[in-house]
Amino acid sequence: MGKLRPGRIAPMFAAALLAASVAACGGGSDEPAASGQPAEKIKLTVGLFSDFHYAPLYEEFKKTHPNVEIVERRAQFNDHHKNLTTQLATGAGAADVVAVEAGYIATFTPLADKFYDLGQYGLGKRQADYLDWKWSQGLSPDGKLLGLGTDIGGLAMCYRTDLFKEAGLPTDRDEVSKLWPTWEDYSRVGQQFVAAKVKGAKWFDGPGENFRAMVDQAPVGYYDEQNNLVAGTNPDVKKAWDLSVQMLQADESAKLLAFSPPWNTGLTKGSFATIICPSWKTGSIKDAAPTTAGKWDVAAVPGGGGGNQGGTHLMAPKQGKHPKEAAELIDLLTSKDNQLKLFTDAGALPSIPALYDDPTITGFTNPFFSDAPTGKIFTDAAKALKPQHVGPKAGDVLTAFGNALQRVEQGKQQPDAAWQQALQDLDRIK
């Protein structure tokens, strides 16, 4: 989902949870059973890149579809999307329902011949529910509805109050938000944290997520509106790069790859004090480090808010033999009621704007994050969001810059050389 979860961004180098059970599509027919005869058993596979917290919703679906068995399979974030590309090219192996994260959605929507048009199964009626830009992201170039949105990201900053206190920094979320109106201020406070020498802790997890957030806040990111790849010439991308490198050189990074096993361990051990936090990531933190409840809080993101990180669409590849049931499952998983449930259960910020004024969300406080009013924080962020155009290979571009920052962080390349290699990688992405 974005989550790297229901959006989840999944983040560009995000490595989500390990693979769960794998199963192929079942056989059978979509024709209704004859009168008085039990419906034929159907197996639907759902391909995800993390735990979207869908298990209770599958049980809800089975109440009206008792003949349907649902088997979920998960893969690491990048592998999930690369595998889907291969499966579509070879015509085999795709799940009946697949999650596609925001950084990759424009890679798949041009492939209208590979996915069922959900509009043919009645899901076009859902358009009025959605944010206009979120709905548009799920359309093919000729207007077919290929994906229905789950969540969006929004941006905030999660931080460890215990580590802030140990470093002599304020812990109140409003005071913390005032520390970093700009990303330069965020780095400056990070230098104060490093100077405090809190045992075992750095300022942030790794450079990739901060870099992505800075770019996400810019008017133009990696692509212009005409789908020209402009990442190498966009001054906002270079500014985000330079500041990310500066933070690495100031020893602010814990050098942990988001969603990797060491990152999960670092969450529990307190290896870093801050983490860029789209809404869905609050659920990721809770899932990965349940023993840290009450040690976290949520403040404003540097850079004046805005920006979207992650968010997901659900799509139905034509390799599936049961498009009607797949479309009905997508409809249920993305319904207004269930998007509301997934926010309170897993932090997945709805892509249905009518919910932003629902008291269940606006009044929601998260006990795991010191009772932070995450409902208000993230709905305010969503209302202020100015969506950025996402180009056809944005996910690959994110990976190229992420790998370059990792090379700098690991001492394998100097910053200028890493930047130049990233630009060469972009030429190959074209």
374/368 Cα distance (integer angstroms): 11
What is the pLDDT confidence band of residue 31, given thresholds at 50, 70 and 90?
Answer: very low
pLDDT of residue 24: 35
Helix, strand, coil percent content, the chain, rounded in steps of 5: 45, 15, 40
What is the pLDDT confidence band of residue 132, given thresholds at 50, 70 and 90?
Answer: very high
pLDDT of residue 19: 35
Residue 35 CA to its chain's centroid (Å) = 45
User: Does residue 160 surpass a pLDDT of 90?
Assistant: yes
pLDDT of residue 307: 77
Look up tokens 């409840």; give the residue.
293
> pLDDT tens, 40-64?
899 999 999 999 999 999 999 999 9
User: Does residue 32 surpass a pLDDT of 90?
Assistant: no
Long-range contacts of 420-427 (CB under 8 A, 24+ apart): 423/232, 425/400, 426/229, 426/231, 426/232, 426/397, 426/400
pLDDT of residue 163: 98
Taking all residues of the chain, what is their mean pLDDT, rounded to a whole number?
Answer: 91
Phi, psi of 23 (to 5 degrees): -150, 155
What is the pLDDT confidence band of residue 38, given thresholds at 50, 70 and 90?
Answer: low
Q: Which residues pair with 404 in a beta bridge?
A: none
Count other Cβ atoms within 10 Å, centred on residue 63.
7
pLDDT of residue 28: 35
> pLDDT tens, 318-368?
999 999 999 999 999 999 999 999 999 999 999 999 999 999 999 999 999
Tell me the average pLDDT across 392-414.
94
Tell me the average pLDDT across 114-123.
98
pLDDT of residue 384: 82
Q: Which of 121-130, 163-172, 221-230, 306-315 has the lowest mean pLDDT?
A: 306-315
Q: Which amino acid is at 212?
A: R
End-to-end Cα separation, the chain, in angstroms:
26
pLDDT of residue 90: 97
Q: Which residues pair with 130 in a beta bridge?
A: none
Tell me the average pLDDT across 10-28.
35
Bridge-based pairing state of the strands 272-276 and 68-74? unpaired
Residues above pLDDT 90, as percent of the chain: 83
Is pLDDT larger for residue 163 or for residue 38?
163
350/342 Cα distance (integer angstroms): 8
Q: Which of 32-36, 69-73, 257-261 has the lowest mean pLDDT?
A: 32-36
User: Does residue 22 surpass a pLDDT of 50?
Assistant: no
Q: Which of 79-93, 161-175, 294-308, 409-423 has the lowest mean pLDDT?
A: 294-308
Is pLDDT larger for residue 108 or for residue 29?
108
Element (H, E) at 287: helix 279-288
pLDDT of residue 385: 82
335/60 Cα distance (integer angstroms): 12
> pLDDT tens, 211-270?
999 999 999 999 999 999 999 999 999 999 999 999 999 999 999 999 889 999 999 999
Degrees, nearest 5: CA angle 279-284-286: 105
Residues above pLDDT 70, as percent of the chain: 91
User: Does residue 34 surpass a pLDDT of 80?
Assistant: no
User: Does residue 14 surpass a pLDDT of 50?
Assistant: no
Domain coordinates in residue numbering, the chain: 2-153+310-351, 154-307+374-430
Helical ranges in 370-412 per DSSP H: 374-384, 394-409
CATH topology of domain 154-307+374-430: D-Maltodextrin-Binding Protein; domain 2 (3.40.190)
User: Does residue 26 surpass a pLDDT of 60?
Assistant: no
DSSP 166: H
Q: What string of DSSP letters covers 307-332? A: ----EEEEE-BTT-S-HHHHHHHHHH
Domain 154-307+374-430 in the same topology as domain 2-153+310-351: yes
pLDDT of residue 1: 59
What is the pLDDT confidence band of residue 382, given thresholds at 50, 70 and 90?
Answer: confident
Domain 2-153+310-351 falls under CATH 3.40.190.10: yes
Q: Which of 141-145, 250-254, 301-305, 325-329 has the lowest mean pLDDT?
A: 301-305
14 within 8 A of 260, measured Cβ to Cβ: no
Q: Which of 136-145, 211-220, 297-306 has the lowest mean pLDDT?
A: 297-306
Degrees, nearest 5: CA angle 256-257-259: 115
pLDDT of residue 11: 39
